[in-house]
Structure 1
Amino acid sequence: MSSVFGLIRGFYIARTMVPADYGVWSLVAALLSYANYADTGVNTGFILEVPRLIGVGHMDQAIRVQRQAFTATLLVTGVVAALVFTGSFWPGLVAGQYGANLRIVAAGVVVFGLLNYYQVVARIEDRWQAIGAATIATTIVSTAGVVVAGTVTGHLTVEASALFAVLGSAAAVLMLFAGKRSAPAWQVDWAVLRRLMAIGLPVSLWPLGFTAFQNADRWIVAGAVSRTDLGYYGLGTTFGLFLYLVPNTLAMVLFTRQIAAFGATGDPRKSESIVLPPIQASGYVMAWLAGAMVLAMPFIVHYVTPSYSPALRVATLQVIGNCLLFAMPVAANYLISTKRQALLVAIVGVVALFEIALVAVLVRTKLGIDGAAWAVLVSDGLCTGAVVTVCLRLFDIDLRAALSRVCLYFLPFALCLPVALLLSPFGRVTDVPSADGAHLLLLGIAYVGLSVPLCLAASKMSGFLAEPVVAARVRTHLPGALSTFLLGRS
């Protein structure tokens, strides 16, 4: 449900803002995503350390660590927020109308830090329903806020969108605070604070690094094109990030099992059955969705965000690029569970540098923002291929066989995308909603009729569906994955 509200909110913002403002919003949204990690790993260390202490019966130490986490969250996010707030008065930022947005981001740094803290507290206290309710409240408040602001004023501003994003998280903080079983306390113990950061920061580097990887292209594009073109470019992010929730949800469900499998034996090979089949399944699902979106995008853009019609091609490329990250959530969590996050960050860092260089070159050619989208698409495919290859090598698969297996995982894209491209010339919008609806339905039927048999044949040839472990994993993890996707529980 929270995912659906988030998509509605993204579409409403795009539909209500002019493309030039939406370009600025895409940058502010990127800054807000970085603000989630401003606690420098304190709360990650908190969630890793306290359950361990409780498990061995050291309740006094667990309470002390919880108090230190609260103190550190306020200290660290307060310092970061103060720096951002002060920087917002820089003359160039004020002249460019970014100052007010940065001040909202500064508030978001503290709010998001407290939200992370109280989510950890709720997890430790086993209040999963409260976490789900708070997550839904975040999206409802932020969505309702932008809808009311846009309806009342007739023009949604970037500042209003950012403000309600922060207020939605503030509502979640209040809900989790009200249901807590232990009161926070200010207590400074520098030794414990350093330990929390030492534990949490290395683990936090991965989500921060991947967030930076996903947003790096926007900053390069922003310096090379107009605000309007940046707005067109930013539209594809709304679609792409929503689709990325599909494999990410599966990864959330599997992560604890991956940790348990490695922790029980110390052997990374013991996790093979909960890594490789899900990766291959994600490949089929995301390839099929990529093809479906190629056919649906002309209708979605025309009817949902009509002022963004020039963004159709770039948005479609960005959707395909995000789908090519199908294996990243499961594969990355596997490497983290086997304590190889440093290797993971290094791989993504190298690919990010390649992406930045390629975007910087192509965006300045006649391809413009389309060139930037092509650069990201290629980089996403390379990133997935590299990370999956490392995982396969941990399962004692030699390099040549690993590369062949990676190609096999990408095979569904080579089947579904050509089918979609073959049908796409028949997907022209007529401006008659009833006719276009029927037209899209027929395209969908044709796409299913052509792509599904191809995927089934490919999976049969590869032996994927014949593996007993696949059916078992689907039965085991599908209910949890659907619950996580719909409720936003992590």
Structure 2
Amino acid sequence: MLQSSKVTSDGVSEVSPPAKTRRASRFFTAILWNWLGVAINVIIGIVVSPYIVRKLGSERFGIWSLVFSLLEYLWFFDLGFNTAVTKFVAHYRAKNEPDQVNRVISSGLFYSSIVALAFLAASAIAAAHSDFFLPVANDINRREFRALILITGMAWGAMFPLHFFSACLDAYQRYDALTRSWVATLLIRSAGCAALLYFGFGLKAMGVVVVLGQLAGNVIAVFSFRASFPQLHLRLSSVSGALLKEMMSYGIHSFVANISNLLLYQGPPVIIAHFRTAAFVGYYMLPFRLLQYLVDAVTRVGFVTRSNVAEMQATGEERGIYNMTMLLNRYCATLFMPAVVYLLVYGTPLVRKWISPEYALNSGPLLPIMAVTVLIAVAGQYNSGSALYGMARHNLMARGLLVESVAGAVGLALVLPHYGLVGAAWTVGVLSVMDRGLFVAWLTCRALHESFLGFVSGIYLRPFLTCFPVLALLLAIKAAGIQGTTWPQLIGLAVLTGIIYYALSFFTCVTGEHRGVLLDWLSKHASPLKRSAAAAG
């Protein structure tokens, strides 16, 4: 038996304390592995990004950003199968049916191999129409754009079947292996690109290094899953048309959501490049990516949520899904809040010192808008979307994302020529709060038959109340003359913001049970360090 449960006097089924403790410990460990990868990504982004921007210049950095935004559109051909694989593999793993797991993997891999051909064709088409994506660029920039699309797009297509195994690792909750795969990709890509720029190479050579990094990460994922599932047997005879149809039925809603997310995240740079020069793509994408580095810790928790919810539902533990989702959303908002407070006050000085006055002028005003809307729409609700995926109740969420993406594209086309990047940031941000911040929360509550107001207040009220004294302190410090003009000031204020907010939120936002889990984990892992220090002494 995976879990034990008992029924209270009012008929409510709840998990017994030992099972809850085991799940909390396993869940917490998985999140820590994900955060390790995120921390490395943040460090790499902070150190390498300004170097790449300065070496490439505004126009070529904009082209670099645009190419990888367009590459994301190739996931159109996934049709939601990666999400379906995670759901089905996690389900059959929980039911201890390895033969069914093999059928899912063989069928999904067969589909992925076919999709790889579509990837290749789409890359060639995109490269041939560079004048559409960069109507105001010169011939040199267009040639570099075409070459970079061909190099990366063709390689992405060829490696698409290998990426399939990352979804399998997700289903098996092997986040240590996923982190190793991700970190290998990051290190090869970032160190390689920086080295190439140092020795005078350009965008095409950087594209080759990115491809090599992606290949290394995918190979690690394949071997890691093989070690996690020794019963793996890939057979063409195991490919099931009926299973593919069932996975397609689940995946089609994920497909709509995935395509909508692509339009939401990658649509703005494409539209900006159509109306403005490539430099404006970089101005928009820099603060977007800075926040993406920070919020990635939140989305990584969501990956853990999805497979856990699928497992809980398979074993009849639906009662625990609501509380888990609400608390995880609160914790993610809590984790992200210090970054929002800091960027509201010192965002523009940070960009000026980190990148350049040019980017401070064009990107700085976007940071407060993006930070607040990302907090509400992404950090505070990402786990709700993951829970809906895990329960296979994400069809309406997918439609909502589609409406948001279409409205965003139309809004950007109307707003951008008149109100510039600030208008674009407001358009994207307001729509995201209405859809992913409120509508997704309502869908989650409807699926679980719980109170919408209770859910939303349980997520946001405590983190926001905790942030106000910290925000007031930073504003007072800035008014006193500390403007964030030096690195010691910027780093010191960031550390101060985090320490004060997290110290307060440990008591205001974290439940007593989870405080105990965290303290037990710290005590357990601190003891070996103390013994090592004593032995060294």
**TM-score greater than 0.5 by the shorter chain:** yes
The equivalent of 2:299 in structure 1 is: 248
Deviation string 1:334-393 (CA, Å, 9 cap, x unpaired) is 22222221111122223333433443343223x411221222232333231332233344
Q: How many residues align?
A: 464
Distance 1:413 1:345 in 2: 33
The equivalent of 1:313 in structure 2 is: 365
- The answer to whether the Cα contact below 8 Å between 2:393 and 2:447 also exists between their aligned partners in 1 is no
Q: Does 1:385 align with 2:438?
A: yes
- The answer to whether the Cα contact below 8 Å between 1:388 and 1:406 also exists between their aligned partners in 2 is no
Counting aligned pairs with the same residue, the percent is 16
1:257 Cα deviation after fit: 3.3
Q: Does 1:27 align with 2:77?
A: no
Distance 2:388 2:334 in 1: 22
1:145 Cα deviation after fit: 1.6
The equivalent of 2:153 in structure 1 is: 106
The equivalent of 1:332 in structure 2 is: 385
Question: For residues 84-99 of structure 1, what are the structure 2 equivalents within 5 Å?
Answer: 84-90=123-129, 92=131, 96-97=142-143, 98-99=145-146
Secondary structure, counterpart of 2:417 in structure 1: coil
Distance 2:66 2:150 in 1: 14
Distance 1:109 1:370 in 2: 33
The 3 A distance-change label for structure 1 pair 55 and 410 is closer
The equivalent of 1:141 in structure 2 is: 188
The 3 A distance-change label for structure 1 pair 178 and 59 is closer
- The answer to whether the Cα contact below 8 Å between 1:302 and 1:309 also exists between their aligned partners in 2 is yes
Secondary structure, counterpart of 1:26 in structure 2: helix
The 3 A distance-change label for structure 1 pair 111 and 227 is same
Distance 2:347 2:284 in 1: 14
- The answer to whether the Cα contact below 8 Å between 2:91 and 2:311 also exists between their aligned partners in 1 is no
Distance 1:280 1:128 in 2: 22
The 3 A distance-change label for structure 1 pair 428 and 397 is same
Q: Does 1:220 align with 2:264?
A: no
Of the three residues 308, 325, 328, the one matched with 1:278 is 328
Greater relative CO (CA pairs within 8 A, separation 6+): 1
The equivalent of 1:433 in structure 2 is: none
The equivalent of 2:428 in structure 1 is: 376
Question: For residues 63-74 of structure 1, what are the structure 2 equivalents within 5 Å?
Answer: 63-74=102-113
Q: Gaps spanning 5+ residues in structure 1: where?
A: 431-435, 480-490
Deviation string 1:211-243 (CA, Å, 9 cap, x unpaired) is 432233223322332222222112112201111
Distance 1:452 1:122 in 2: 32
Secondary structure, counterpart of 2:70 in structure 1: helix
The 3 A distance-change label for structure 1 pair 38 and 476 is farther
Distance 1:289 1:246 in 2: 12
Of the three residues 512, 515, 518, the one matched with 1:471 is 515
The 3 A distance-change label for structure 1 pair 67 and 437 is closer
Q: Does 1:116 align with 2:177?
A: no
Secondary structure, counterpart of 1:339 in structure 2: coil
Deviation string 1:10-52 (CA, Å, 9 cap, x unpaired) is 4443232211222222221212333355333344444444565
The equivalent of 2:397 in structure 1 is: 344
Report which stretch shifted further, 400-409 or 81-90.
Answer: 400-409
Distance 1:73 1:371 in 2: 39
Distance 1:59 1:407 in 2: 41
Distance 2:329 2:100 in 1: 40
1:163 alignment partner AA: V
- The answer to whether the Cα contact below 8 Å between 1:74 and 1:110 also exists between their aligned partners in 2 is no
Distance 1:232 1:209 in 2: 23
2:193 alignment partner AA: V
The 3 A distance-change label for structure 1 pair 21 and 41 is same
Deviation string 1:150-198 (CA, Å, 9 cap, x unpaired) is 1111x643x4444332221112233445664657566776555444434
Secondary structure, counterpart of 1:38 in structure 2: helix
Distance 1:124 1:288 in 2: 31
The equivalent of 2:461 in structure 1 is: 408
The 3 A distance-change label for structure 1 pair 63 and 429 is closer
The 3 A distance-change label for structure 1 pair 478 and 70 is farther
1:146 Cα deviation after fit: 0.4
- The answer to whether the Cα contact below 8 Å between 1:11 and 1:305 also exists between their aligned partners in 2 is yes
TM norm structure 2: 0.73
Give me the CA root mean square deviation.
Answer: 3.8
Q: Gaps spanning 5+ residues in structure 2: where?
A: 1-35, 524-537
2:180 alignment partner AA: A
The equivalent of 1:483 in structure 2 is: none
Distance 1:69 1:114 in 2: 9
1:447 Cα deviation after fit: 5.0
Distance 2:505 2:222 in 1: 49
Q: Does 1:287 align with 2:331?
A: no
The equivalent of 2:528 in structure 1 is: none
The 3 A distance-change label for structure 1 pair 394 and 121 is closer
Distance 1:44 1:446 in 2: 39
Distance 2:385 2:198 in 1: 42
Deviation string 1:68-94 (CA, Å, 9 cap, x unpaired) is 333321211212322321442247369
- The answer to whether the Cα contact below 8 Å between 1:317 and 1:377 also exists between their aligned partners in 2 is yes
- The answer to whether the Cα contact below 8 Å between 1:423 and 1:443 also exists between their aligned partners in 2 is no
Report which stretch shifted further, 387-396 or 164-173.
Answer: 387-396
The equivalent of 2:120 in structure 1 is: 81
Distance 1:183 1:266 in 2: 31
The 3 A distance-change label for structure 1 pair 354 and 326 is same
Distance 1:47 1:20 in 2: 39
Distance 1:110 1:449 in 2: 44
Secondary structure, counterpart of 2:284 in structure 1: helix
The 3 A distance-change label for structure 1 pair 2 and 52 is closer
Of the three residues 490, 494, 498, the one matched with 1:440 is 490
Distance 1:408 1:266 in 2: 27
The 3 A distance-change label for structure 1 pair 218 and 421 is farther
1:375 alignment partner AA: T
The 3 A distance-change label for structure 1 pair 57 and 452 is closer
Report which stretch shifted further, 219-228 or 442-451.
Answer: 442-451
1:424 Cα deviation after fit: 4.4
Deviation string 1:314-338 (CA, Å, 9 cap, x unpaired) is 2443334323321222111122222
- The answer to whether the Cα contact below 8 Å between 2:78 and 2:255 also exists between their aligned partners in 1 is no
